[in-house]
Amino acid sequence: MDSQQPAPAHPAAQHRSWAQRPAFARMAAHLFLILVGVLFFLPFYWLISTSLKELNQIFTLPPVWIPDPIRWQNYPESLTYFPFLLQLSNTLAITLSSVALTLLSSTLVAFSFSRLRWPGRNLLFFLMLSTMMLPYQVTMVPLFILFRQLGWVNTLLPLIVPHAFGSPFFIFMLRQFFLGLPRDLDDAAIIDGCSEWGVYRHIILPLAKPALATVALFQFLGSWNDFIGPLIYLSDPSKYTLSLGIQVFVSTVGVQWGWMMAVTTVLTLPVILLFFLTQRTFIQGIAFSGLKA
């Protein structure tokens, strides 16, 4: 530890830990946090309020903070301008199948990398970790050409199928989690005649529910929010995901900010709702992935 350096000799009584500061310091901290919090929240407010404004209230100074009248029509008007429902169903198809595939494949591999002992395991594990540092651009062009040869360009497949092969980040996270489960469980099960598959299926998976929930959430977000994948692989609007479809919509209507904010709200709302429904899993998952790494 670095703190062996002699601390300057101050009278100890003047110093208190952060947690024991006088009320006024807490007050100041609150004020500062509230200020920053408002700044963080303002863009959301700006998003929603613009999405409900008429154009003449959008292009005006001083800004109109509360839309009057509230113009709900921005939503139906903008969402019928492009194949919204079709693109929503594409997005859901990609998102849900990616979640399912990633859960299955990543847990299998993580199980192998954590609960099974076999020669070469650590080597492969470190190889996998190293691929996490590989910039995606290195594989971008060859993968495009590979999928072209498979006839998969302008289909949803390039955005789904790779998830059947595990994601290094999730495998890593799950492995760390699996390692934290008591080893005796496996041994007992093996003695009872359980196979490795049985241990995986009946012991590890049920115990790993919180970790699985985290993986599912992150993958859901990853697929829902993905832009560059759809941008590269999908070319006609009936195949677009919402992210891509909305970007195309926005680049076409330009400065119809009411419409643009309406579709942006629609793209954002599901993940916000998901967050509030699963807040605990989210925060723990982030902290876990960042700390236990």
Partner 1 sequence: MQESNKSYRVSRRTFLQAAAAGVGSLALAACVMPAPAGAPGGDSTAPDPEKLPIIYWSMFGLEEAKQAQNQVDRFNEETGKDAIFMSIGWGNIVEKVQVAIEGGNPPDMVTLWSQPYTWGPRGLLQPLEGYAERDGFDGTGWSPAAWDALWSDGHLWGTGHTLNVFALHINQSAYEEAGYSVDAPPKTFADLDLLAEALTQYDDAGNLSRLGFLPWRNAPVFHWAWANGATLYDVDNDKITADEDAVLEVLQWFLSYAEKYNIDEVDRFVSGFGDRSMLTEDPWYVNKVGMQIDGSWKRSWIPRYAPDLKYTVFKSPYGPRGSEPISLNEIGAMFCVPTGAKNTEGGWALAHFMAGKQQQIEFGQQVGDIPPLADAARDPEFLSYLPHNELFVELTEGTAGRAWPRMPVLSTYQDEMNRLVDQVVHGKVVPEQGLAELTAKVQKELDDFRQQTAA
Partner 2 sequence: MFAKLSQLSRQERRRFRVGLLFALPWIVGFLGFTLYPVIVSLYYSLNVYTTFGQPMRWVGLANYSELLTADKLFWLSLYNTLYMVVLGIPFHLLLTFLLALLLNMNLRGISVYRTIFYLPTIVPVVATSILWMWVFNPEYGLINAILDELGIHGPGWLTDPDLAKPSLILMGTWTIGSTLVIFLAGLQEVPRQLYDAAMIDGAGSWQQVRHVTLPMLSPVIFFNLVMGVIGGFQVFTQAFIMTKGGPLDATLFYALYLYQNAFEYFKMPYASAMAWILFVVVIVATLVVFRSSARLVYYEGEER
Q: Could you list the residues that contact partner 1 (CB under 8 A)? A: 114, 126-127, 129-134, 144-145, 147-149, 151, 153-155, 176-177, 179-181, 210-211, 232-233, 235-238, 248-249, 251-256, 284-285, 288, 292-293
Q: CB within 8 A of 270, min separation 6: which ones?
A: 224
In the complex, the smallest distance separating the C-beta of residue 132 from partner 2, rounded to whole angstroms, is: 9
Report the Cα 264 to chain-centroid distance in Å.
17
> 69: cis peptide before it, omega within 30°?
yes
**b/e map 167-188, b = 16+ CB within 10 Å:** bbbbbbbbbbbbeebeeeebee
Region from 67-75, 82-90, 205-213, 224-232 binding partner 2, contact rule CB under 8 A: 224-232
119 binds partner 2 (CB under 8 A): yes
> Between 3 and 66, whose beta carbon lies closer to partner 2?
3
- Copy the structure tokens of residue 77: 């008007």
> Of 35, 70, 145, 179, which lies in the binding site for partner 2, with binding defined by CB under 8 A?
145
Partner from partner 2, partner 1, none contacting 66, C-beta within 5 to 8 A by type: none
In the complex, the smallest distance separating the C-beta of residue 248 from partner 1, rounded to whole angstroms, is: 5
- Write each residue from 169 to 188 as x if it is in contact with partner 2 (CB under 8 A), else as -, in one continuous string: --x-----------------
Q: What is the DSSP letter of 165?
A: G
Within 81-110, the residues that bind partner 2 by CB under 8 A are: 105, 108-109
Region from 68-76, 82-90, 116-124, 176-184 binding partner 2, contact rule CB under 8 A: 116-124
47 binds partner 2 (CB under 8 A): yes
69 binds partner 2 (CB under 8 A): no
9 binds partner 2 (CB under 8 A): yes
- Calpha distance 245→252 (Å, rounded): 11
15 binds partner 2 (CB under 8 A): yes
Dihedral angle at the C-alpha atoms of 43, 48, 51, 56, nearest 10 degrees? -70
Partner from partner 1, partner 2, none contacting 52, C-beta within 5 to 8 A by type: none
> Between 72 and 227, whose beta carbon lies closer to partner 2?
227
> 62: cis peptide before it, omega within 30°?
yes
The pair phi, psi for residue 6, each rounded to 5°, is -60, 125
> Between 96 and 203, whose beta carbon lies closer to partner 1?
203
Q: For residue 17, give the amino acid letter.
A: S
Q: For residue 157, give the amino acid letter.
A: L
Helix axes 209-225, 279-291, angle to 10 degrees: 90
Helix (H) or strand (E) holding 134: none
